[in-house]
Amino acid sequence: MKSIYNNLKPFVLEQDIPTLQKHITSGELSYEKLTKFYLYRIRKFDRANNLSLNSVIALNPNVIQQARQKDKEFLNKKMKHPIFGMPILLKDNVNASDMPTTAGAVALQDNNAEDAFIVKQLKKQGALILGKANLSEWAYFFCGECPSGYSAIGGQTLNPYGRKIIDTGGSSSGSGVATSANFCAASIGSETSGSILSPASQNSVVGLKPTIGLVSRSGIIPISSTLDTAGPITKNVIDNAILLDAIFGEDKSDSKSIFALWGNGFYVDELVSEGLKGKRFGAYKEMLEKEPLYVSAIEQLKKRGAEIVVIEENEDIKLPDFLRLLNLDMQKDLPIYLSKYADDKVALKSVEDVIDFNLKDSIHIMPYGQALFKGIVADKATDEEFTLIKEILKTNGKHYFDDFIKTNQLDGVLSINNYHAGYAAVAEYPAITVPMGYKENGAPMGLTFIGKRLSEKQLLQWAYNYEQATKMRKAPVNYN
């Protein structure tokens, strides 16, 4: 097996999805070989050794058999989409029928639920569900003072660029780490505020947080039905476009779902190399003064024809009661998930039930406590108060970006990592982060493009142009 693995490395490691598909068409690869390659790497690097990353929480026991079926379908010319046959990891708050969906919590270890809407979308296009990625437990809205990337089920996820030294980012920690370490073709993360942008930038991969409603949330363990979204985490921008193209679509059971007029291919087509000429971006003065990698990234954009307008942080615009929005949404959204989308065998029906369950064995189940869950239960508001909280936050988030965009006639705003994720979250605006280099200690950083509602096509175009011009991503050296 080791010799087969070594022979396949040049065809798989760091290759984008179109290249993997070319290797399959030419016969150097098959979907079965590709799947086994990733399984071998997960076994070799992810658990119980000096390089372990703890990024994968579960594997699909049927995936090899399913990959063989894809090979048969490919021979019969049944490939429907570039995602066909690609082994995808799901953050373990996304329901998938072959494995439990736990959110990293012992309380949900027997939650064998039916496929989430986006998993049905993936399977419809022929993707393979390789397994589940570890995460910050309950999507980092549980313990309060705990490290990102920790869950009771999956343990502590570690960063391949610096195990136990560099933070993984959260809450889609495993998705970011596993993608960066070439444990899958691509992965799915989820974000409420920064949970795709943070681990993607921390692990030198590309993460897209879509406009709220473009991608379904049904069958995904929630924090906030106001702000939650799933999104793609990939090694490069073309794969990000392919994965978004495979999962978007109207879900009538999701109250915020958007009916998109475009069909498949919309996000993948026309990623051209001239997409930055004449585009106007806002760049933050404070970041230009403090962050050399950001300065270098801006210079690269200018060389490709972008126009840069220096803007300053608007410190007058606050996000009042942001935590309360999450508390009040989780109070009602988790019970809806448990009653509608969880396995019937799961007896828990509320946040209070989870708190009580965890008290049975707090050392193993909640070693960092459950302060945020206690805060959810303690929070109270009338419907009118809750509506006002949401309205103020959304208005403030939109003002924060729109004031810059309108005054300076900008196409988008440039940030770093997840630094402005909270404002993008409440505005319900999309954002994409793409590798822009490494700090002196080796920690990756991402250049983050933020655009207005449903500007994903443009964001992908800009990120693709920047990526192709700079090619800043370097694979983690110990995992090649």
Residue type for 417, please? Answer: N
Q: How far apart are CA 239 and CA 235, in angstroms?
A: 7
- Distance (Å) of CA 243 to CA 18, 90, 119, 130, 458: 12, 12, 11, 15, 16
Backbone φ and ψ of 419, nearest 5°:
-60, -30
Q: How far apart are CA 272 and CA 298, in angstroms?
A: 19
**Of the listed 30, 171, 190, 224, which one is catalytic?**
171
CB neighbour class for 135 (10 Å; exposed up to 12, middle 13-18, buried from 19): buried
Number of helices (H), then strands (E), belonging to the chain: the values are 18, 13
Q: Is 296 a catalytic residue?
A: no
**Of the listed 91, 120, 209, 390, which one is catalytic?**
91
- Distance (Å) of CA 203 to CA 35, 166, 172, 177, 234: 22, 9, 11, 6, 11
Q: Is 91 a catalytic residue?
A: yes
Residue type for 447, please? Answer: L
Q: Are strands 128-133 and 206-209 parallel, antiparallel or unpaired?
A: unpaired
Q: Is 3 a catalytic residue?
A: no
Q: How far apart are CA 353 and CA 361, in angstroms?
A: 14
Q: How far apart are CA 230 and CA 208, in angstroms?
A: 9
Q: Are 56 and 124 in contact (CB under 8 A)?
A: no
Backbone φ and ψ of 446, nearest 5°:
-120, 145
Which residues have a catalytic role annotated? 91, 171, 195
